[in-house]
């Protein structure tokens, strides 16, 4: 056996192997076979074999249309050994003989004979160059027979004619066809109606074949012979055959060839008609027959005709053939010049497509605007003015750059007006939703890559309109100097919004697959569907914006738009801010081009370019980036030399900067704000020594600026920003460096010991106090007070930070600051409390509150889940939390100062706490604790609620300080405690410190529970005796339990501090922010507010933690004190149920019942503990009160539960296994079996857990609800009734084992068997008859007596119901009829 070739063997070895194989004569391993037809062998069975084995093309097998021009795979030619050609046979001749396709005739090439053509020499002229041809000259001497020939061709023909005059004998060249030659055109199907198909016409000669190119003696003879042959063949054919052959020819010919023949026929026919009209010679002889006219000479072409029944076009101008490109008039292309059709608004009232003007205004459907405005250049609905979004999208893909720019400009205007809420309810659906779903985001991204500067500018403008919501930045800037106003939430969608949006769009399997990969692997389109900003960043937007700023050097509007877009990207999240910072050369370009330290003075008027000119928006971008994290702030200060930049723009007053006044004010303000943000991390404090003279000069100029009328808003913002910087620097003077053991790499890299000392800031108080005194004088004048903006707030916050830092200086005498505080309170604060205008500020809290007015927190009209915005279009109303007349900023700052003074100076606490007795504040607190729906967590609502929570917390903290020194009124203490409980379940992420402080101070303090010391337990016992008539031991009643709970408040607080613990890193960050520990502040960007920090059912958290521990597989480490944890939680829930019921208003009674049931599922012994039994019994009695029981709804969705029926099924299993007839356990089992609840719960007991009936021995006297709740209305579920009857008949349910359910089942069976409802189905009637017959034949006389003689429920009787001594006549008669029938039918089985 021969071996196969191996790698490395040469061609000599291969040739040797071949010779060995041929010598051996072995059979080859592979046999070559010719591949058959793709259509299979069956396709050629019916065809006769050909005489020749060459490939023959048959006409019938060819397709009607030419093959598509698709490149085929390269093939190699191969000689065929079985079909050799004879020596005497010509291959070309043989191919022509077998080629029977129609193109073989039309494409036969015959060489033109030019032997008789005369050669003409050019005519000599007397000039060096030919004269220049002018188009006007060609028009004047244009011959009438020019047809569609170009101007150049017409000029050449005219020259030949003129040259022929000088030739001897007048010889004319015959290279071109004669002008008067008659041609023939193939009739189109639409023109057959105008031509008789019969062959009885006068064919005067050939009209297509002229013999041109043949010898003179052969040309006419050959053409005539071909014409006679064609005529004879046409006359021998019928009309149907002619039409069929015509269709076949048109289908087989190349469409381009058909078009060429038609155009040539049109040209020659028009030339002939023109020649005849000029000479007056008739075109046809008068033979008495209808002349055959070419269609082009007698009527318009088919493509120029209007539709049948359409009116003739009335053009405003008449086109002339002398006009350029108007030698052939195409009417269908001139329809746009007609008058507009009439409006259709009066004919239909259906919804119409929205159309917008070039300024983005929504046009009414019936508006009539003139056409010169350019609003009618569209095809659909031509009579309506304006353009639709679809038409604008189409225009953005135009090849004309001006049209692309115009379309993007209009779309930007539409988006801006939509986000401003101008469209209102006039549109169905959301404009932003529609645009984003249509891919508008990526259309803008593609437009940014355009080469035309105008298109780039329009795309940047549209991108700003899409991303930057109007009013958002103004709101955040105006509140920067509020209490913790520099801290904001990220403007990014929450993960819950994304998941909720996709729940209905994707199946569960696809959703699981979608959530499995990381977001980094998603394509930009998928990212943009969930988050527009992330989708944009995935398209390399930042490098493109950097290129536009650095290379193209756009105008000021484009620069401002790009900076606004970058600010919006930086506010999205820490990740986005980091990407903006790390984009190569982006921040470097912005600092170099738009924050130069030297520039040419800017004259008054529009600035031609912002490059090399300071820009306030660039400074704001750096400030927003620094707010995202202390590490970013440190990198900005160190890498881009921002300290010298800050010095440059702070050291000079705004009026001294060589910039426009407004720009100088904003630039100085943003420089102060950037410094304040850096100082919030303890950075940039070394600038204080360098800028101290400029700061003192600015402080000394503040009283003069505050006395200027009218007050300038930009100046007020600058003053407030300056005070905010001084506040942070004062805190930095008292802050300490972080501990060396800190494990945060970011903190360790970007923290430095504070370089500012207390002595450097101690002299600022006098100047700020002077400014505060001047602003408080304007309080009685509301218009002047509102014009001050955040200046009074910033003054109070500075004093707060000043006294806080002063009290932490260990080497100073405490008497100095105590004396200074007394002087401040006597001079400013106490007189302020007595002013009536301050009372009006407290009174306006409720009107400006977002919590008391949830409708003010509604989402914006164009809110998109994937693009978060605050929705402050058009500004905020004056009487709102963010409005100009809002009392929240000044009152929050005042309460913060009062808390600091009260903590340091105990003697001032009582005087300052008098502010809590303001009627306006009391009314506001009453509105906050009233049962109402919480505002939805929109981006604006979380921002507004955070500032509102600050005021509530500071008021509670002041009340707590006052309560430790002197007792409070019972009503005020209870109100403050209710506010604390409500606030605890509303605080948002970023306020972890406030949650911790509330749990430590207000919530579990006995001072805020006046009921515990003023007869509250005794009143509870008395109420229970009145409502329940209980005669239980007073030591086991609810009063004793409440009294014990008041004594155990410290233990209860410790339990909840353990189980309500928050994430440690976030708690430390929040403590650093609120305590002013600048070196430990990680960022001013708060966590994403997905939900409140604590759930609304936080009092049940310890019970839920125990249940989850028991449900885990395998369970984790056991809790330290299970019984103690459960008891403390139940004690606190009992306190709230008894004295603070409004605190549990948000927790439905069904959810409370479910959490109590979870306690029984922890283990098999916990529910047997005596304290647990007493507390659960008291809580169950509260749930079964007449005013609470109607609200117990087990069929609605419950928070934290997927299905109550599943929980109840587990509850039954646990009861059957470990209850051993416990009555309290049984009461919880029976409570969901009431008739008004779902039948699924009763079917679960009687169908799957029927063995639990023997353990349900709860007596009728201990049933927490009335027995009628289980019996009325009568049961109508047939399956359950059958289960009831089977349990009774089989003795599974006995009165001694389960008296409650025995009475219930007897009542329902009795009602069913004696029911006479005529609407019952046949199945129900049959079951009822059978059940009654079996009841009559029961062997158990007692059960038979109960089922037949049941009368009414009565829980005082041992059986739980009354019996008829004798059946009523109707029932007795009905029973007699059934029993008589039984005897007749012989029914004897039971």
For the record, the structure tokens of 361 come out as 């205004």
List all residues 6 or more positions away from 774 whose beta carbon is below 8 Å from its beta carbon.
Answer: 703, 706, 707
Share of the chain above pLDDT 90, in %: 54
pLDDT at 145 over 80: no
> Is 1221 or 1379 the better-scoring residue by pLDDT?
1221
Q: Are 141 and 158 in contact (CB under 8 A)?
A: yes
Weakest mean pLDDT among 331-345, 357-371, 435-449, 995-1009: 331-345
Q: How high is the pLDDT of residue 270?
A: 64
In three state form, how does the secondary structure of 40-73 look?
Answer: CHHHHCCCCCCCCCCCCCCCCCCCCCCCCCCCCC
Q: How far apart (Å, rounded) are the C-alpha atoms in residues 1261 and 1259? A: 5
Q: Are 594 and 618 in contact (CB under 8 A)?
A: yes
Half-sphere exposure of 1293 (CA within 13 A, CB side): 22
Q: Tell me: the pLDDT tens digits for 604-616? A: 777 889 999 999 9
Closest CA to 718 of 764, 679, 668, 675: 668
Count CB neighbours of 1265 within 10 A. 17
Q: Tell me: the pLDDT tens digits for 1245-1277? A: 999 999 999 999 999 999 999 999 999 999 999
Count CB neighbours of 407 within 10 A. 24
Q: Largest Cα–Cα distance in the chain?
A: 149
Q: How far apart (Å, rounded) are the C-alpha atoms in residues 569 and 556? A: 20
Q: How high is the pLDDT of residue 310?
A: 46
> Is 969 or 537 the better-scoring residue by pLDDT?
537
Q: How far apart (Å, rounded) are the C-alpha atoms in residues 899 and 992? A: 19
List all residues 6 or more positions away from 494 whose beta carbon is below 8 Å from its beta carbon.
Answer: 1088, 1089, 1090
Q: What is the mean pLDDT of residues 1194-1223?
A: 91
Q: How far apart (Å, rounded) are the C-alpha atoms in residues 1178 and 1044? A: 14
For the record, the structure tokens of 1147 come out as 């927790």
Q: What is the mean pLDDT of residues 543-555?
A: 95
> Is 150 or 1377 the better-scoring residue by pLDDT?
1377
Q: How high is the pLDDT of residue 248?
A: 84
Q: How high is the pLDDT of residue 123?
A: 65
Q: How high is the pLDDT of residue 110?
A: 62
The angle, 0 to 180 degrees and rounded to 10, between the axes of the packed helices 1038-1047 and 1016-1028 is 160
For the record, the structure tokens of 33 come out as 């076979």
Closest CA to 440 of 399, 470, 411: 411
DSSP string for residues in 1291-1333? TSS-TTT-HHHHHHHHHHHHHHHT---TT--HHHHHHHHHHHH
pLDDT at 956 over 60: yes
pLDDT at 41 over 50: no
Instruction: Label residue 136 by pLDDT band (50, 70, 90).
Output: low
> Is 1152 or 516 the better-scoring residue by pLDDT?
1152
- Residue 252: helix, strand or coil by DSSP? helix
Q: Are 1187 and 1136 in contact (CB under 8 A)?
A: no
Q: How high is the pLDDT of residue 1016?
A: 83
Instruction: Label residue 227 by pLDDT band (50, 70, 90).
Output: confident
Instruction: Label residue 128 by pLDDT band (50, 70, 90).
Output: low
Q: Tell me: the pLDDT tens digits for 389-412? A: 999 999 999 999 999 999 999 999
pLDDT at 173 over 80: no
Q: Give backbone dihedrals phi and psi of 492, rounded to 5 degrees, phi first.
A: -135, 150
- Top mean pLDDT of 119-128, 369-378, 869-878 is at 369-378
- The distance from CA 370 to its chain's CA centroid, rounded to whole angstroms, is 39
Instruction: Label residue 1303 by pLDDT band (50, 70, 90).
Output: very high
Bridge partners, residue 1361, by sequence: 1353
Q: How high is the pLDDT of residue 734?
A: 81
Q: How high is the pLDDT of residue 306?
A: 43
Closest CA to 462 of 420, 412, 407, 416: 412
Weakest mean pLDDT among 168-182, 227-241, 853-867, 990-1004: 168-182
For the record, the structure tokens of 1236 come out as 């008004």
Q: How high is the pLDDT of residue 1035?
A: 55
Q: How high is the pLDDT of residue 407?
A: 95
Q: How high is the pLDDT of residue 1389?
A: 37
Closest CA to 465 of 490, 482, 487, 440: 440
The angle, 0 to 180 degrees and rounded to 10, between the axes of the packed helices 1322-1336 and 1341-1349 is 130
Q: Are 285 and 204 in contact (CB under 8 A)?
A: no
> Is 1061 or 56 the better-scoring residue by pLDDT?
1061
pLDDT at 189 over 80: no
Q: How high is the pLDDT of residue 891?
A: 97
Q: Is 110 exposed, middle or buried (0-12, 13-18, 19+ CB in 10 A)?
A: exposed
Q: Are 949 and 986 in contact (CB under 8 A)?
A: yes
Could you tell me how many residues make up the chain?
1390
> Is 134 or 669 the better-scoring residue by pLDDT?
669
Q: Tell me: the pLDDT tens digits for 282-295? A: 433 333 333 333 33
Q: How high is the pLDDT of residue 89?
A: 63
Q: How far apart (Å, rounded) are the C-alpha atoms in residues 1280 and 1285? A: 9
Instruction: Label residue 687 by pLDDT band (50, 70, 90).
Output: very high
- Global pTM reads 0.76
Q: Tell me: the pLDDT tens digits for 90-120? A: 666 666 666 655 555 555 556 666 666 666 6
Q: How far apart (Å, rounded) are the C-alpha atoms in residues 434 and 532? A: 14
Q: Is 1368 exposed, middle or buried (0-12, 13-18, 19+ CB in 10 A)?
A: exposed
Q: Tell me: the pLDDT tens digits for 1134-1147? A: 999 999 999 999 99
- Residue 410: helix, strand or coil by DSSP? helix
Q: Are 245 and 257 in contact (CB under 8 A)?
A: no
Weakest mean pLDDT among 184-198, 460-474, 726-740, 1073-1087: 184-198
Q: How far apart are the first and last CA of the chain?
A: 92
Q: How far apart (Å, rounded) are the C-alpha atoms in residues 730 and 310? A: 85
Q: What is the mean pLDDT of residues 792-813?
A: 92
> Is 874 or 1199 the better-scoring residue by pLDDT?
1199
Closest CA to 875 of 478, 465, 467, 475: 475
Weakest mean pLDDT among 893-897, 1026-1030, 1165-1169, 1362-1366: 1026-1030
DSSP string for residues in 172-211? ---SSPPTT-----PPPGGGGGGS--SS-S---S-SS---
Q: Are 825 and 817 in contact (CB under 8 A)?
A: no
> Is 1155 or 108 the better-scoring residue by pLDDT?
1155
H/E element, 1171: helix 1170-1183
- Average model confidence (pLDDT) across the chain: 82
Q: Are 398 and 404 in contact (CB under 8 A)?
A: yes
Q: Tell me: the pLDDT tens digits for 866-910? A: 999 988 776 678 888 888 899 999 999 999 999 999 999 999 999
For the record, the structure tokens of 275 come out as 């020649």
Q: Are 559 and 549 in contact (CB under 8 A)?
A: yes
Q: What is the DSSP letter of 1166?
A: G
List all residues 6 or more positions away from 1175 whose beta carbon is below 8 Å from its beta carbon.
Answer: 1041, 1127, 1130, 1131, 1134
Q: How high is the pLDDT of residue 344?
A: 64
Q: Give backbone dihedrals phi and psi of 1317, rounded to 5 degrees, phi first.
A: -70, 115
C-alpha to C-alpha distances, 652 to 599, 655, 656, nearest whole angstrom: 14, 8, 6
Q: What is the mean pLDDT of residues 588-593?
A: 96
Instruction: Label residue 1121 by pLDDT band (50, 70, 90).
Output: confident
Helix-strand-coil split of the chain, %, nearest 5: 55, 0, 40
Cis, peptide link before residue 710, omega less than 30° from 0: yes
Q: How high is the pLDDT of residue 829?
A: 94
């Amino acid at each position: 056996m021969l071996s196969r070739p191996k790698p490395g063997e040469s061609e000599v070895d291969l040739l040797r192997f071949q010779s060995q194989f041929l010598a051996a004569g072995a059979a080859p391993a592979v046999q070559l076979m010719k591949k058959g037809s793709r259509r299979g062998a069956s396709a050629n069975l019916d065809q006769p074999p050909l005489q020749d084995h060459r490939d023959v093309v048959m006409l019938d097998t060819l397709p009607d249309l030419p093959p598509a021009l698709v490149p085929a795979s390269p093939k190699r030619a191969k000689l065929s050994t079985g079909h050799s050609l004879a020596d005497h046979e010509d291959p070309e001749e043989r191919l022509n003989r077998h080629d029977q396709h129609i193109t073989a005739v039309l494409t036969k090439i015959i060489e033109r004979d030019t032997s008789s053509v005369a050669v003409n020499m050019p005519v000599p002229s007397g000039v060096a160059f030919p004269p220049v041809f002018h188009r006007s000259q060609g028009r004047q001497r244009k011959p009438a027979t020019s047809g569609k020939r170009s101007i150049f061709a017409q000029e050449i023909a005219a020259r030949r004619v003129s040259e022929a005059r000088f030739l001897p004998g007048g010889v004319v060249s015959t290279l071109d066809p004669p002008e008067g030659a008659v041609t023939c055109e193939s009739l189109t199907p639409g023109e057959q109606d105008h031509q008789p198909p019969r062959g009885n016409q006068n064919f005067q000669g050939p009209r297509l074949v002229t013999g041109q190119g043949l010898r003179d003696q052969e040309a006419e003879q050959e053409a005539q012979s071909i014409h006679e042959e064609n005529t004879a063949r046409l006359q021998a054919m019928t009309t149907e055959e002619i039409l069929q052959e015509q269709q076949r020819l048109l289908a087989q010919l190349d469409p381009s060839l058909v078009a060429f023949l038609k155009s040539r026929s049109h040209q020659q026919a028009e030339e002939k008609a023109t020649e005849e009209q000029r000479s007056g010679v008739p075109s046809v002889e008068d033979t008495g027959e209808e002349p055959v006219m070419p269609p082009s000479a007698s009527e318009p072409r088919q493509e120029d005709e209007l539709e049948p029944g359409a009116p003739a076009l009335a053009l405003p101008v008449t086109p002339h053939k002398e006009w350029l490109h108007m030698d052939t008039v195409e009417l269908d292309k001139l329809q746009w010049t007609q008058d507009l059709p009439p409006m259709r608004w009066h004919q239909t009232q259906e919804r119409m497509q929205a159309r917008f003007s070039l300024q983005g205004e929504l046009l009414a459907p019936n508006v009539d605007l003139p056409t010169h405005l350019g609003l009618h250049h569209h095809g659909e609905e031509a009579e309506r003015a304006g353009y639709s979004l679809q038409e604008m999208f189409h225009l953005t893909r135009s090849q004309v750059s001006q049209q692309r720019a115009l379309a993007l400009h209009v779309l930007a205007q539409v988006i801006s007006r939509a986000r401003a809420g101008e469209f209102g309810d006039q549109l169905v659906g959301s404009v932003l939703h529609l645009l984003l779903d249509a891919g508008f985001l990526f259309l803008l991204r593609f437009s940014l890559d355009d080469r035309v500067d105008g298109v780039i500018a329009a795309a940047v403008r549209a991108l700003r309109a899409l991303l930057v919501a109007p009013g958002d930045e103004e709101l955040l800037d105006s509140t920067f100097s509020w209490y913790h106003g520099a801290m904001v939430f990220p403007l990014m969608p929450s993960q819950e919004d994304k998941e909720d949006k996709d729940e209905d769009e994707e199946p569960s399997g696809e959703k699981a697959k979608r959530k499995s990969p990381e977001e980094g692997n998603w394509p930009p389109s998928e990212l943009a569907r969930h988050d527009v900003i992330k989708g944009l960043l995935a398209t390399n937007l930042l490098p493109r914006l950097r290129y536009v700023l650095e290379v193209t050097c756009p105008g000021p509007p484009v620069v401002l738009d790009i900076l606004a877009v970058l600010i919006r990207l930086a506010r999205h999240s820490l990740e986005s801010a980091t990407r903006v910072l790390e984009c190569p050369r982006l921040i470097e370009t912005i600092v170099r081009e738009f924050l130069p330290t030297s520039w040419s003075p800017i004259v008054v008027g529009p600035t031609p370019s912002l490059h090399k000119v300071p820009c306030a928006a660039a400074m704001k971008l750096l400030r927003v980036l620094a707010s995202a994290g202390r590490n970013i702030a440190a990198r900005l200060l160190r890498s881009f030399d921002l300290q010298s930049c800050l010095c440059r723009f702070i050291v000079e007053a705004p009026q001294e900067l060589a910039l426009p006044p407004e720009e100088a004010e904003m630039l100085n303000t943003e420089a102060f704000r950037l410094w304040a943000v850096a100082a919030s991390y303890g950075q940039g404090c070394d600038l204080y020594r360098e800028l101290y003279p400029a700061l003192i000069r600015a402080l000394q100029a503040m009283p003069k600026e505050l006395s200027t009328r009218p007050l300038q808003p930009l100046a007020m913002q600058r003053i407030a920003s300056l005070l905010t910087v001084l506040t942070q620097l004062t805190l930095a003077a008292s802050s300490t460096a972080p501990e060396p053991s800190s494990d945060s790499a970011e903190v360790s890299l970007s923290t430095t010991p504070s370089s500012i000392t207390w002595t450097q800031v101690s002299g600022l108080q006098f100047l700020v106090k002077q400014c505060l005194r001047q602003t408080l004088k304007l309080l009685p004048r509301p218009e002047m007070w509102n014009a001050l903006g955040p200046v009074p707030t910033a003054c109070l916050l500075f004093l707060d930070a000043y006294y806080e830092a002063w009290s932490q200086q260990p080497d100073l005498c405490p008497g100095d600051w105590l004396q200074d505080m007394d002087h401040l309170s006597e001079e400013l604060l106490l007189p302020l409390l007595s002013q009536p205008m301050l009372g009006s500020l407290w009174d306006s809290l409720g009107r400006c509150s977002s919590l008391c007015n949830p409708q003010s927190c509604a989402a914006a009209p164009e809110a998109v889940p994937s693009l978060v915005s605050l929705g402050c279009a058009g500004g905020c109303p004056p009487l709102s939390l963010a409005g100009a007349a809002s009392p929240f900023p000044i009152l929050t700052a005042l309460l913060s100062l009062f808390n600091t003074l009260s903590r340091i100076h105990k003697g001032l606490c009582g005087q300052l706490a008098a502010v809590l007795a303001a009627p306006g504040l009391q009314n506001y607190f009453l509105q906050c604790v009233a049962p109402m729906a919480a505002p939805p967590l929109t981006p604006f609502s979380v921002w507004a609620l955070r500032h509102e929570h600050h005021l509530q917390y500071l008021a509670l903290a002041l009340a707590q300080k006052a309560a430790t020194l002197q007792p409070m009124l019972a009503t005020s203490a209870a109100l403050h405690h209710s506010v604390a409980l409500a606030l605890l379940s509303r605080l948002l992420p970023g306020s972890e410190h406030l949650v911790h402080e509330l749990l430590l101070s207000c919530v579990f303090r006995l001072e805020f529970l006046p009921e515990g010391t003023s007869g509250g337990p005794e009143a509870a016992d008395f109420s229970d005796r009145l409502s329940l008539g209980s005669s239980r031991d007073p030591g086991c009643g609810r009063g004793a339990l409440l009294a014990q709970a008041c004594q155990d408040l410290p233990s209860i607080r410790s339990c909840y501090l353990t189980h309500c613990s928050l994430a440690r890193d976030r708690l430390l960050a929040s403590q650093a922010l609120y305590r002013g520990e600048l070196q430990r502040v990680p960022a001013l960007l708060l966590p994403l507010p997905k939900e409140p920090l604590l759930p609304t059912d936080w009092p049940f958290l310890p019970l839920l933690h125990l249940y989850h521990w028991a449900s885990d597989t395998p369970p984790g480490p056991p809790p330290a004190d299970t019984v103690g944890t459960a008891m403390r939680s139940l004690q606190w829930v009992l306190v709230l149920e008894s004295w603070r019921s409004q605190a549990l208003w948000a927790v439905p009674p069904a959810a409370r019942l479910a959490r109590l049931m979870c306690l029984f599922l922890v283990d098999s012994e916990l529910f047997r503990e005596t304290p647990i039994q007493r507390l659960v019994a008291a809580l169950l009695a509260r749930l079964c009160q007449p005013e609470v029981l109607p609200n117990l709804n087990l069929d609605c969705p419950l928070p934290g539960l997927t299905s109550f029926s599943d929980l109840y099924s587990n509850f039954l299993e646990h009861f059957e296994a470990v209850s051993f007839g416990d009555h309290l356990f049984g009461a919880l089992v029976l409570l969901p079996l009431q008739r008004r609840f779902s039948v699924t719960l009763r079917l679960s007991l009687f169908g799957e857990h029927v063995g639990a009936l023997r353990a349900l021995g709860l007596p009728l006297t201990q049933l927490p609800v009335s027995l009628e709740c289980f019996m009325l209305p009568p049961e109508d579920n047939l399956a359950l009734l059958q289960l009831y009857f089977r349990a009774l008949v089989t003795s599974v349910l006995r009165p001694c084992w389960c008296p409650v359910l025995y009475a219930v089942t007897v009542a329902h069976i009795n009602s069913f068997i004696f029911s006479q409802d005529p609407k019952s189905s046949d199945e129900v009637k049959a079951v009822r008859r059978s059940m009654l017959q079996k009841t009559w034949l029961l062997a158990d006389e007692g059960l038979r007596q109960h089922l037949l003689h049941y009368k009414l429920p009565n829980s005082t009787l041992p059986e739980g119901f009354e019996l008829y001594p004798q059946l009523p006549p109707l029932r007795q008669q009905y029973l007699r009829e059934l029993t008589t029938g039984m005897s007749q039918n012989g029914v004897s089985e039971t």
